[in-house]
Structure 1
Amino acid sequence: MMIKKSLPLLFLFFSLCGFSQKIIKKTIVSDYVDDKREIKIYLPEGYDEKEEKNYPLAIVLDAEYLFDTYVGNAVLFAAKDKAPKQIIIGVQMAKTRKKDTYFNITDGRFTTDNEKFYQFLKNEVIFNIESNYKTSPFISIVGEGTSANLITNFLKEQTPFINSYICINPTFSDFIGRQMQDYNLSRFEKVDNTFYFYTNNSNAFSEEKQLRISELQKGLSGLEIKTFNVINDTINTKSSVSAIGEAIPRALNQIFQVYSAISKEEFDKNVKDLSPTDAISYLENKYLDIEFLFGSNLGIRENDIYAIEKIIIEKENGDELLNFGRMILKLFPTSPLGNYYIGRYYESGKNIKKALYHYKIGYGKMDPADPNSDAFYENVIRLGGR
């Protein structure tokens, strides 16, 4: 039992060793909080100022205990192709933590110090990082306890610029329901962007805290806002510290789901009943969203091509094979699969000349060492080409 419990700690230890050299410490001279405040900056492996690639930005409050855990999970998710690589900022809280995030208990409103810290995050931290590093438009903000309550206030911004709000073990005011109503979340429907709001409840909390979170989650679950994704989570554990360790990967798994390859769950829910035309549009939009939100031009994963291949081939007599191939060439021009499906389309219509032309182009894109190259070349031979 002791060995099993130690494995996560050992993994986290080696993860920290692996990324520690990529962390930069920076001091921001502030017009809002104290005279200056230190932040940590994690730059992902491969980050290069000279390249055009951009990275999502994550602002992690309570950095003294959340930063390393978030970075460790982010590195793992990126390594497993479940999330894009991120630029991650850890924000040092005031020595007296209550100064930054403890709100007015009588009405739930910001204290003067809360407002200053909020403006520090908005106008100095985020502005500084976006001005000096290669960030994509997608911004996450992460907080625990009273910090989780503070970050909900970004929902009130007239032009929303935070994409994901990760509220871990949130300590909300008694007025959080009314505050949410005042934020008029329905206006997010009109914003051409994608938003996520994560909260977790836990049996490790007091009954009062559980009830407050439960009531908020129940109210949010009734929202039907296409662009605003509510993630209500419940973590069964006896420790609020354990809840932190579980909440971060669970939040990342949901928030970056659009980035991941099409899972069986996604296919069954969103794809399997689509027409060939709609399936092609779904796949194309998925990768356009990935590029826009996360700054990641992945081309297109072959597994995602194969995920909808059956729909394209078996429905409507394969008439959409041509558009399928063209879509793949548009998103992934170096892949031979686009030419393969176009060639297959022309072959089914007995236009052997055009079919052979595309099969040859596709084969020319392949590495001779690729085990699939021989099978691809058989198409060329079969149609009389050399």
Structure 2
Amino acid sequence: MRILTLLLLVFSFSFSFGQKTIFKKYESDELKDIRDVSIYLPKSYEKDSISNFPLAIVLDGHKLFDLYVGVSNYYSNQDNAPEQIVVGIDMESTRNKDAGYDITNSNLRTDAKRFYRFLRDELIPFVEANYKTSPFLTIVGESLTANFITHFLKEGDPIFNAYICLNPTLAPDVNAKMQGFNLEKMGPMDNTFYFYLSGNPYAKSEKLTKIQSYGKFMKSVGVENFHVVFDELKSSPSSSSVIGEGMSRAFAKIFEIYSGITQDEYDKNIKELDPPSAIAYLEKKYLDIEYLFGSNIGIRQRDVVAIEDIIIEKENGDYLKDFGEMILKLYPTSEMGNYYLGRYFESGNDFKSALEQYRLGYGKMDPADPNADLFYQNVERVLGK
């Protein structure tokens, strides 16, 4: 029931926020054929003239395009993922030809190699030339096409940052193929990569065993900037829910850096930091968001508050001044920066400067704000000193 409710929410978001989908007949020189392509532009695309948007290539678009768009809208509206441009390729009648492999050596067949080059050399450059894309690219496949997308890992200069393989129908020696692709090459690269693999507890045992072996192998790669998640989804209530649950869980992992600071992130990465390191962590998090996703969203106020205790309680509050000045730069109309500067000066018994900062902060607040009276207590306290 929980998963059904989530999927209903996903599809309600998919059709409720004024998205624009362009349907295109793409005439391919490589394929000598015409393909039906759907290009989804997010709701902010026309409004935002500055930002670029991550690009997702969704194979099996006849099945997965609406699902991916729905999950993307759901996560972006929760501020847990950036808005994305989504390109779906209809493969209903061409899947076996476009994604087929030779069972004797696991190599792509001739038609699949053409389809590979169509994606790499035609479709992606076309989208990047005509739409405002960021450098972050995702590719999605299910069953046979999930096996197909693993071949992009052989590229010396990776095209994709994220790979979503849902319930793959894997080639016989896929593990040996991956070894030949030398995934360790990603280690020195100044970039971040994600590989999400989901199984299906309702699949035939032979297929499931192969997926489990592949998942174990991929998790053993051990490259720091190549993040691998293997979800067996044993608790999924039905076979039909596996793909939807896998897609949502893939988003949660791939875009976790975009989300605000969670309790888990705070406990693992921030809790033990000293004040300058906590400030640096926060700044780097948002630089990474801008670099990866093309989203200059500014530091969220709730993330500023998340590291407040470290700044105030550690090293005698000596970094309150740096903290306050950073917040004033980020949020010049907010009282928060003045508050932290006031705390800094008050702790050093510079009551005149503290009073000035508290008064400046109070002056930015709406008198109707229920917190205004609480904030003014800072002024009264310093006046009493």
CA contact (8 A) 1:25 1:40 kept: yes
Q: CA deviation at 1:249?
A: 0.4
Counterpart of 1:154 (choices 148, 152, 157) is 152
Match of 1:190 in 2: 188
Q: Give 1:53's aligned amino acid.
A: S
- Residue 162 and residue 308 in structure 1: after superposition, are their counterparts in 2 closer, same or farther (change >3 A)? same
Q: Give 1:314's aligned amino acid.
A: E
SS of corresponding position for 2:15:
helix
Match of 1:104 in 2: 102
Distance in 1 separating the partners of 2:291 and 2:37: 27
Match of 1:274 in 2: 273
Structure 1 window deviating more from structure 2 (34-43 vs 67-76): it is: 34-43
Q: Give 1:241's aligned amino acid.
A: S
Q: CA deviation at 1:372?
A: 3.0
CA contact (8 A) 2:9 2:74 kept: no
Distance in 1 separating the partners of 2:366 and 2:27: 53
- Residue 5 and residue 129 in structure 1: after superposition, are their counterparts in 2 closer, same or farther (change >3 A)? closer
CA contact (8 A) 2:146 2:167 kept: yes
CA contact (8 A) 1:197 1:229 kept: yes
Distance in 1 separating the partners of 2:34 and 2:364: 55
- Residue 178 and residue 276 in structure 1: after superposition, are their counterparts in 2 closer, same or farther (change >3 A)? same
Task: Give the length in aligned residue pairs.
Answer: 383
SS of corresponding position for 2:86:
strand
Match of 1:83 in 2: 81
Q: CA deviation at 1:95?
A: 2.1
- Residue 53 and residue 333 in structure 1: after superposition, are their counterparts in 2 closer, same or farther (change >3 A)? farther
- Residue 332 and residue 170 in structure 1: after superposition, are their counterparts in 2 closer, same or farther (change >3 A)? farther
Distance in 1 separating the partners of 2:74 and 2:316: 42
Distance in 2 separating the partners of 1:282 and 1:212: 40
SS of corresponding position for 1:166:
strand
Match of 1:68 in 2: 66
Root-mean-square deviation over aligned CA pairs = 2.4
Q: Give 2:225's aligned amino acid.
A: T
CA contact (8 A) 1:299 1:332 kept: no
TM-score, structure 2 length as denominator?
0.91
Q: Which runs of 5+ in 2 are unaligned?
A: none
Distance in 1 separating the partners of 2:250 and 2:20: 24
Identical counterparts, % of pairs: 51
Q: CA deviation at 1:200?
A: 0.8
Distance in 1 separating the partners of 2:48 and 2:4: 41
Distance in 2 separating the partners of 1:328 and 1:114: 53
Distance in 2 separating the partners of 1:352 and 1:325: 16
Structure 1 window deviating more from structure 2 (98-107 vs 347-356): it is: 347-356
Q: CA deviation at 1:37?
A: 1.6
- Residue 328 and residue 193 in structure 1: after superposition, are their counterparts in 2 closer, same or farther (change >3 A)? farther
Q: CA deviation at 1:113?
A: 1.0
Q: CA deviation at 1:29?
A: 2.0
Counterpart of 1:179 (choices 160, 177, 180) is 177
TM-score, structure 1 length as denominator?
0.91
Q: Deviations over 1:344-366 (max 9, x none)?
A: 22221223344344444444544
Structure 1 window deviating more from structure 2 (137-146 vs 347-356): it is: 347-356
CA contact (8 A) 2:10 2:74 kept: no
CA contact (8 A) 2:68 2:247 kept: yes
Distance in 1 separating the partners of 2:257 and 2:10: 26
Match of 1:336 in 2: 335
In the TM superposition, 1:225-244 aligns within 5 A as 225-236=223-234, 237=236, 239-244=238-243
Q: CA deviation at 1:319?
A: 1.4
Q: CA deviation at 1:16?
A: 4.3
